[in-house]
């Protein structure tokens, strides 16, 4: 057998390193939590369709759900228009925003919004991010978004405004592109249900998919009603006691709206 020369040995060594690197990368890939329940998958697909049908999102925006089998995993569609999402588009991620099995599907750039909120808030089961134009004015002005009527009682905890310049500097592209920005947004959200993102949109959370969708829809409606009421004169808002009493009652009745919205969005 012919002895291998220096070049051949180096080539083999390089190939071995490449194989080792590939094997290491595979070993470090997050393990799947397994298939989510069919019910959760159905709700997440319906949530995408409902949010589009209700005008909360357009071609942009996204909604996620914490995995029902592991709290350190979440489900989010591939990067696409929410109104077109199907079960095959749903991907699994770990809390670093790493896709478990992408299979060639491109994830949303801003998946770190979801991963960091899930990491920070064990009580959150679903996250909605939208660029809803009704909410934008309250994130760029000094007027706080407040609960005008009982269906928006979850706003009684306030809607803090995230200023990305404080974290990324004055020349960011406004997108939550990494863990650092996602973590800062989660800190701004704190224990609130809604956080506005200056010049960008909002994040809305709930303890499950249905509740998060309801909160997102009524945050939009409340913003419209509040802006209209302010044109008439001084506004009387829900006080903290009213908001605290009403919010759990509304959340308990979420199926009434969900069934209606789902039937309309999926007809």
CA distance 45 to 86: 6
CB–CB of 90/75 below 8 Å?
Answer: yes
State the catalytic residue, choosing from 8, 43, 92, 110: 110
CA distance 81 to 78: 9
DSSP β-bridge partners for residue 203: 129, 195
- Is 110 in the active site? yes
CB–CB of 106/77 below 8 Å?
Answer: no
CA distance 110 to 102: 16
Q: Which H or E run includes 263?
A: helix 254-265
Active site residues: 110
């Amino acid at each position: 057998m012919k002895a291998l020369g220096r070049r051949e040995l180096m080539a083999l060594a390089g190939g071995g390193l490449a194989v080792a690197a590939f094997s290491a990368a595979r070993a470090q890939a997050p393990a799947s939590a397994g298939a989510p329940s069919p019910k959760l998958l159905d709700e997440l697909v319906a949530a995408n369709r409902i949010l589009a049908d209700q005008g909360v999102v357009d071609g942009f925006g996204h909604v996620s759900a914490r995995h029902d089998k592991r709290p350190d995993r979440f489900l989010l569609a591939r990067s696409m228009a929410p109104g077109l999402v199907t079960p095959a588009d749903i991907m699994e991620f770990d809390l670093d925003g790493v896709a478990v099995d992408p299979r060639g599907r491109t994830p949303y750039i801003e998946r770190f919004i979801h991963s960091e909120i899930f990491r920070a808030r064990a009580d959150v089961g679903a996250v909605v991010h939208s660029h809803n134009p009704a909410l934008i004015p309250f994130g760029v002005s000094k007027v706080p978004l407040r609960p005008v009527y009982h269906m928006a009682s979850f706003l009684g905890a306030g809607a803090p405004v995230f200023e990305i310049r404080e974290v990324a500097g004055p020349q960011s592209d406004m997108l939550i592109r990494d863990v650092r920005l996602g973590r800062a947004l989660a800190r701004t959200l704190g224990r609130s249900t809604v956080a506005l993102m200056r010049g960008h949109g909002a994040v809305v959370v709930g303890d499950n998919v249905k509740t998060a969708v309801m909160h997102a829809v009524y945050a939009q409606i409340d913003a419209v009603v509040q802006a209209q009421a302010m044109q008439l004169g001084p506004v009387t808002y829900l006080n903290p006691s009213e908001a605290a009493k009403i919010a759990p009652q509304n959340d308990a009745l979420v199926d009434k709206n969900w069934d209606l919205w789902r039937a309309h969005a999926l007809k």
